[in-house]
Structure 1
Amino acid sequence: MTDPSTMLRIAESAVSAAERSFIHGLGADPHQIKERGDFATKVDLEIEEKLRSSLSDQTGIPVYGEESGGDLNRDRVWIVDPIDGTANYAAGNPLCAILLSLLVEGQPMVAVTSIPMLGRRLSAHVSSPLYLNGRALKPLRDPDKMIAQIGFSSVASPLNSRYSSQVRQGLLADLAETYLRPRITGSVGVDLAFTAQGIFGGALSLSPNVWDNAAGVLLIRAAGGVVTGTEGEPWTMNSEGVIAGNAEAHKAIMGTMNKILNQQ
């Protein structure tokens, strides 16, 4: 049986070591070109290898990483995004993060999101509160609607996605007409972490990638927020995205999403 508190300690220790490489390499040039104009830096590859080695050696649990892949068809698997927001990272923009989660039967049991350039590390396991730099935070509350912001994250649209570029643009425009104020940070992990902390009232991720979403899903659950897939269904590792936030913001985002999808 996997003990969540033990796994969280191991995860945080591994991330601590990776943070030093992250901070030292900020501004690294693109190194490996990927599909759709995406790229990785040498630091992406270095951090993923460090995390992969540390986690597998200490726990015997396999690792699935954004850069080097792995096997997702397992009961237990570590999910690693060594640098979420790589374009930000290469430009020296501090809104980038290390994302790490442990999935057990497709759901996150442990999560760590580190935003090293802001000095913030969020962590949680399935039966814990949300921790910020080791300190438990109070549950989320509905923010003042006059200042409510949400994160909007969208990766390049896959050919088989129902969320075409036109849908994404319309969704962003319609969200801007609500009391929510969309913000595009360039990092799904930052959006979800800010939502867990209550900096953002909510977040909408249209990324289908489990490495982008899994850690933030657990952090927001630990904070007492509402988390679903983009159609309001319970989130799973196979969901095409995430809608999350306090109850009021989630309802507003979900309403806008339904309106857009019903127009197709």
Structure 2
Amino acid sequence: MTASPLTDDLRHDLDLALRLADAADAQSLPRFEAADLEISTKADNSHVTDADLATERAIRSILEAERPDDGIFGEEFGAQGSTHRQWIVDPIDGTANFLRGVPLWGTMIALAVDGVPQVGVVSMPALGRRWWAATGAGAWTTVGAEPRRIQASAVSSLDDASVSFQSIAQWSDAGRLDSLLKVAGHVWRDRAYGDVYSYMLLAEGRLEMVAEFDVKEYDIAAAVPIVREAGGRMTAADGTETISARSTLATNGRLHDDFLQLMND
């Protein structure tokens, strides 16, 4: 996933992505822990709430008005328009957490140019946190009102690494449970922090690896610029430079090849 330098266009796109996140938060946060939250089941047996739908509609409305020539690919309403410049949106990543009242959920907004994410914003309003990046501009977060630049860790030994594996069931369904056990046996600490939060912990230098299987582009696209601009690396689980392989391996960069070897030997 080769990046291009920051341009004025990307600066404007990042500003727009941050405004999209504001609009998303205004829809999602008031519905969190709402007694009348509407929940239904999709064809793949995953859940969707009225907040997921309203949040994606709000984002699409702004994009259709301000970027009519760009394409949109969202979890709830699919793809439309150009794939050259495509906004990739997960309105609520972590819907299962959202509907159970667990605050580890967030909106993921990315702009991909020819399939490569160049702008990414992740907003987790229930935690009062947001992360963002654009190619060439670094990776940032807010704690309160002050932006702070973030950096992946300098850990260079698997013995000192902390990893997030998402879920045992996910790795088992992918036929990769032996790989998970191998990884866990070579690192200092393994936990399943889950969903987009794991990638943000990685970008902040608090983890050294996150890996997932059976993921769509909207599950990971926004994390790519943030991890990359923080000095980390994201590929598919086999090392391919793509967001379309239905798997992902994110690391602090220094240990990427070591984790690839562990997972694929």
* TM-score, L = length of structure 1: 0.86
Give the AA of the match of 2:245: S
Matches within 5 A, 1:159-174: 165=173, 167-174=175-182
The CA distance in 2 between the partners of 1:72 and 1:184, in whole Å, is 36
Q: 1:21 to 1:105 in 2, by over 3 A?
A: same
Which residue does 1:111 correspond to in 2? 120
Matches within 5 A, 1:77-92: 77-92=86-101
Q: How many Å apart are 1:154 and its aligned residue?
A: 5.8
Q: How many Å apart are 1:251 and its aligned residue?
A: 3.3
- 1:218 equivalent to 2:230? Answer no
Partner residue of 1:153 out of 152, 159, 166: 166
Q: How many Å apart are 1:191 and its aligned residue?
A: 1.6
Matches within 5 A, 1:184-195: 184-187=192-195, 189-195=196-202
Which residue does 1:182 correspond to in 2? 190
The CA distance in 1 between the partners of 2:150 and 2:53, in whole Å, is 35
Give the AA of the match of 2:154: D
- Is contact 1:79–1:100 with CA below 8 Å preserved after alignment? yes
Q: Deviations over 1:205-234 (max 9, x none)?
A: 213300001111111111011222111122
* TM-score, L = length of structure 2: 0.86
- Is contact 2:140–2:150 with CA below 8 Å preserved after alignment? no
- Is contact 1:204–1:242 with CA below 8 Å preserved after alignment? yes
Partner residue of 1:197 out of 201, 204, 209: 204
Which residue does 2:149 correspond to in 1? 137
Q: How many Å apart are 1:131 and its aligned residue?
A: 1.1
- Is contact 1:88–1:186 with CA below 8 Å preserved after alignment? no
Partner residue of 2:235 out of 209, 228, 233: 228
- Is contact 1:30–1:90 with CA below 8 Å preserved after alignment? no
The CA distance in 1 between the partners of 2:188 and 2:259, in whole Å, is 9
Gaps of 5+ in 2: 1-6
Partner residue of 1:13 out of 19, 30, 33: 19
Give the AA of the match of 2:49: T
Identity %: 30
Q: 1:146 to 1:127 in 2, by over 3 A?
A: same
Which residue does 2:41 correspond to in 1? 33
Q: Deviations over 1:106-153 (max 9, x none)?
A: 001111011112211111111110011262424323248676322223
- 1:128 equivalent to 2:150? Answer no
Which residue does 2:54 correspond to in 1? 46
The CA distance in 1 between the partners of 2:116 and 2:44, in whole Å, is 28
Give the AA of the match of 2:165: F
Matched positions, count: 252
Q: Deviations over 1:147-183 (max 9, x none)?
A: 63222236987xxxxx762623223222221114232
The RMSD of aligned alpha carbons is 2.5
- Is contact 1:155–1:207 with CA below 8 Å preserved after alignment? no
Partner residue of 2:108 out of 99, 103, 106: 99
Q: Deviations over 1:230-253 (max 9, x none)?
A: 11122x232222111113442342
Which residue does 2:29 correspond to in 1? 23
Q: How many Å apart are 1:255 and its aligned residue?
A: 2.1
